Amino acid sequence: MESDSLGGSRYLLLIVDEASGCMKKFCLRVKSESEDYIWKYITMVQTQFSTKVNFVGADGA
């Protein structure tokens, strides 16, 4: 049975930075929000650490 969280989220996006081992989670209402959160995370990493993200992979889910 599928159910929403108290905040209305139905999906979880987990980003794992293999270089640092850092994990970041985002609660999504719809899957289409994932692209925005991925770009926000990439921008944050590139700004905060003054480096470029070289590769982004996905598990295909």
pLDDT tens across the length of the chain (61 residues): 477 788 889 999 999 998 888 999 999 999 999 999 999 999 999 999 999 999 999 887 6
Q: How many domains does the chain have?
A: 1
59 is a domain residue: no
The pLDDT score that the predictor gives to residue 30 is 95
26 is a domain residue: yes
33 is a domain residue: yes
Measured CA to CA, the distance from residue 60 to residue 18 in angstroms comes to 18
55 is a domain residue: no
3-state per-residue secondary structure call for the chain: CCCCCCCCCCEEEEEECCCCCCEEEEEECCHHHHHHHHHHHHHHHHHHHCCCCCCCCCCCC
The pLDDT score that the predictor gives to residue 1 is 46
Residue 46: closest CA among 28, 25, 19, 26:
19
The pLDDT score that the predictor gives to residue 61 is 66
The pLDDT score that the predictor gives to residue 11 is 93
